[in-house]
Amino acid sequence: MYRIEISPAADRDLEKLKGRIRRQDFERLRVAVSGLAEEPRPQGVRKIKGAERAYRIRMGNYRVVYEVYDNDNLVLILQVARRSETTYRQ
């Protein structure tokens, strides 16, 4: 079992989203984040290129960016954001 910690930036992201999105969508995000404690690399996870420990998961129109520290059994949530057309373009 992994411990979940939320960075201050991700905490601000969640607070902003809480007031802006439907309660049902926010609950799905919350469940996805808490599910990372049992399975830090769930089906559909993508490793972020160029980052040693960073991954992202999608929940509908939202994405969660996080790092996994296996030695410490820790998942650190870095960002929670809405996906857009330009999210992954470079």
Q: Tell me the per-residue pLDDT of 34-65, one tens digit each, with 9 for 90 and over.
A: 999 999 999 989 999 988 899 999 888 889 99
Given this model, what pLDDT does residue 85 score? 58
Given this model, what pLDDT does residue 9 score? 93
Half-sphere exposure of 89 (CA within 13 A, CB side): 3
Q: How many CB atoms lie within 10 A of CB 75?
A: 24
In the predicted structure, residue 86 carries a pLDDT above the cut 70: no
Given this model, what pLDDT does residue 26 score? 87
**Cβ(77)–Cβ(66) below 8 Å:** yes
Distance CA 78, CA 64 (A): 8
In the predicted structure, residue 75 carries a pLDDT above the cut 80: yes
Mind listing the domains of the chain with CATH numbers?
3-82 (3.30.2310.20)
The structure tokens listed for 28 are: 């799905």
* Averaged pLDDT for residues 1-10: 94
Whole-prediction pTM value? 0.85
Q: Which helix (H) or strand (E) holds 80?
A: strand 74-82
Distance CA 20, CA 34 (A): 21
